[in-house]
Structure 1
Amino acid sequence: MIKFTLKCDQDHRFESWFQSSDAFDKLERAGMVTCSICGSEAVEKAIMAPTVRASRSVAAAPTEGTKSPALTTPTTEMEQALAALKKQVEENSEYVGMNFASQARDIHDGLAPNRAIHGEAKPEEARKLIEDGVPVSPLPFIPNRKTN
């Protein structure tokens, strides 16, 4: 997708999105691009400056005199409580990834050693575990292995 600044013969300026530059040209030739203000079909691309994002290091730098906490730094009491819970779970259980459902079932059935685990499961897998009486609970955070 590309956004163009357009202007009509009445000097009205407006923006519009197109699938590509070629798509704009094709629609313009077919008379399908009209001014969003007056309806004129005499529309052309206006001179425009490209949108350029600052680099991440520049964008993330705090302005002078302000402190910018990292996005992962808990700031509220609730965020701090969730961070503490996450730390507790990760320090005291084994991450089994997408094998959570089978590992939890094996532990429940006595086929695997009894231990604390955490991981990921598809909703239908989690529902089946609960229906079968396997004691599981969803966690209110994403495991570290899934965060950037």
Structure 2
Amino acid sequence: MIRYALICDDDHEFEGWFGSSGDYDDQQARGLLECPVCDSRAVRKQIMAPAVAGTKRTLRDPGPAKMQAMMMEAAGRIRAHVEENFDDVGDAFASEARAIHEGRAEDRGIYGQASPKEVRDLIEDGVPVAPLPPEAPAKTELN
């Protein structure tokens, strides 16, 4: 196995493990490599020193502010994907989720609003639900 330090065109750094350098080249040529943060396919190898036994390696800590920004970006992408591809059923979420789970309604992705009690009841009955990430604050609301 070979580990490559990779970076996308948005400067998101990550690593990839490949069976050989040829595997990397093949996957890159077929467009199969993508950034886990932003899904960019403009991925390239970073310059890296060879791993030598007995040396200390230090990890680059992006820092709390950068980590928070990356998490907010990822959460925003999830929310946008749901809003673009799922049906908004509004405050009928609990009844529609239950109907889909029980086979009484078309199986599809939905989102909407439910009370805490409705969510607890759905979970207790085995209906898969998850909270939607919050909307990102407007830039004018940030400090």
TM-score of the pair, normalised by structure 1:
0.43
Computing the radius of gyration from Cα coordinates, the structure with the larger value is 1
TM-score of the pair, normalised by structure 2:
0.45
